[in-house]
C-alpha cells in the first residue's frame, strides 16, 4: 500500500483505513509498521457504525469485511468490492480504479456558456495607421469577438469606404455600425463591445 501511495495521490485520492479497532490499537499497529502515511480510522464507538452504514459490518464476528469503497469528489460511491475477510486486495488494480474515477472528473460539469456575441450585421470599420482603430481592434481581440464582429478597412478597401459613408453618413473611422446606429467615439465603441461580449443571458 505504502509503495503505491504516490499513484493515489496523483489521482487526487485520499486513502483511509477503517476497522473497528480503537485509536490505541491503530497507533500501536502503525508504530509496528514503522509509521503509516495514511489515516487509520477507529470505527470503534459505536462499534462498526460506519461499516454498518455501508453494509460491511459482520455482526456475528464483530469485525468488518475486507472491502474497498472508492468515493468520488461528489460523495458518490463509484467502486464497492469485497475480497472477504480472509482475502487479499490488489492494490495496483485499486490504483487503476482511482485513476479511472479521477479522469472522469469534470465530465459532469456544465459546458461553458458561449460568450455573448454582437448584434447581427454589426461591422467595425477601421483605417490604417490609426491609434483609435488599433485600440478598437485590440478590444475586439481581447473580448474574443474576432469571429463575431467583421472588420472592414476603409483605407485599403474602396467598397468598405462607400459602405461606411452609406451607413454612418461620413468617412470617419473607427466606426462601429449595427443596424441603423453608428458609434464613432472609440471609448463608446469599446464599451458597446464589452456590453455585448459579456452578456451571458443567451
Partner 1 sequence: MIAVGTRAPDFTLPDHLGRKVSLGSFTGKRNVMLLFYPLDWTPT
Binding site for partner 1 (CB under 8 A): 1, 8, 11-21, 23, 25-30, 32, 36, 39-43, 49-51, 53-56, 58, 61, 63-80, 82, 85, 88-89, 94, 98, 101-102, 105
Alpha carbon distance 87, 107 (integer Å): 34
Q: What is the smallest separation between the CB atom of 159 and partner 1, expressed in angstroms?
A: 56
Burial (Cβ within 10 Å: 0-12, 13-18, ≥19) of residue 40: middle
Alpha carbon distance 96, 41 (integer Å): 24
Residue whose CB is less far from partner 1, 23 or 146? 23
* Inter-residue contact 45 to 12 (CB < 8 Å): no
Residue whose CB is less far from partner 1, 61 or 180? 61
Q: Which residues pair with 178 in a beta bridge?
A: 181
Q: What is the smallest separation between the CB atom of 6 and partner 1, expressed in angstroms?
A: 14
CA distances, 20 to each of 38, 81, 103, 174 (Å): 17, 19, 32, 75
Residue whose CB is less far from partner 1, 30 or 117? 30
Residue whose CB is less far from partner 1, 104 or 185? 104
Q: What is the smallest separation between the CB atom of 32 and partner 1, expressed in angstroms?
A: 8
Q: What is the smallest separation between the CB atom of 200 and partner 1, expressed in angstroms?
A: 23
By residue count, the chain amounts to: 202
Amino acid at each position: 500500500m505504502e509503495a503505491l501511495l504516490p499513484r493515489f495521490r496523483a489521482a487526487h485520492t485520499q486513502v483511509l483505513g477503517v476497522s473497528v479497532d480503537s485509536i490505541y490499537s491503530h497507533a500501536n499497529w502503525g508504530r509496528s509498521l514503522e509509521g503509516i502515511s495514511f489515516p487509520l480510522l477507529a470505527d470503534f464507538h459505536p462499534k462498526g457504525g460506519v461499516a454498518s452504514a455501508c453494509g460491511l459490518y459482520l455482526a456475528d464476528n464483530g469485525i468488518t469485511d475486507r472491502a474497498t469503497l472508492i468515493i468520488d469528489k461528489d460523495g458518490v460511491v463509484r467502486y464497492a468490492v469485497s475480497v472477504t475477510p480472509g482475502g487479499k486486495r490488489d492494490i495496483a488494480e485499486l490504483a487503476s480504479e482511482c485513476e479511472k474515477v479521477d479522469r472522469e472528473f469534470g465530465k459532469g460539469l456544465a459546458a461553458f456558456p458561449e460568450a455573448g456575441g454582437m448584434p447581427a450585421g454589426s461591422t467595425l470599420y477601421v483605417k490604417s495607421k490609426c491609434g483609435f482603430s488599433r485600440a478598437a481592434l485590440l478590444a475586439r481581440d481581447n473580448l474574443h469577438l474576432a469571429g463575431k464582429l467583421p472588420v472592414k478597412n476603409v483605407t485599403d478597401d474602396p467598397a468598405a469606404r462607400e459602405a461606411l459613408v452609406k451607413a454612418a453618413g461620413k468617412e470617419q473611422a473607427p466606426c462601429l455600425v449595427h443596424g441603423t446606429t453608428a458609434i464613432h467615439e472609440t471609448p463608446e465603441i469599446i464599451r458597446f463591445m464589452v456590453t455585448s461580449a459579456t452578456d451571458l443571458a443567451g
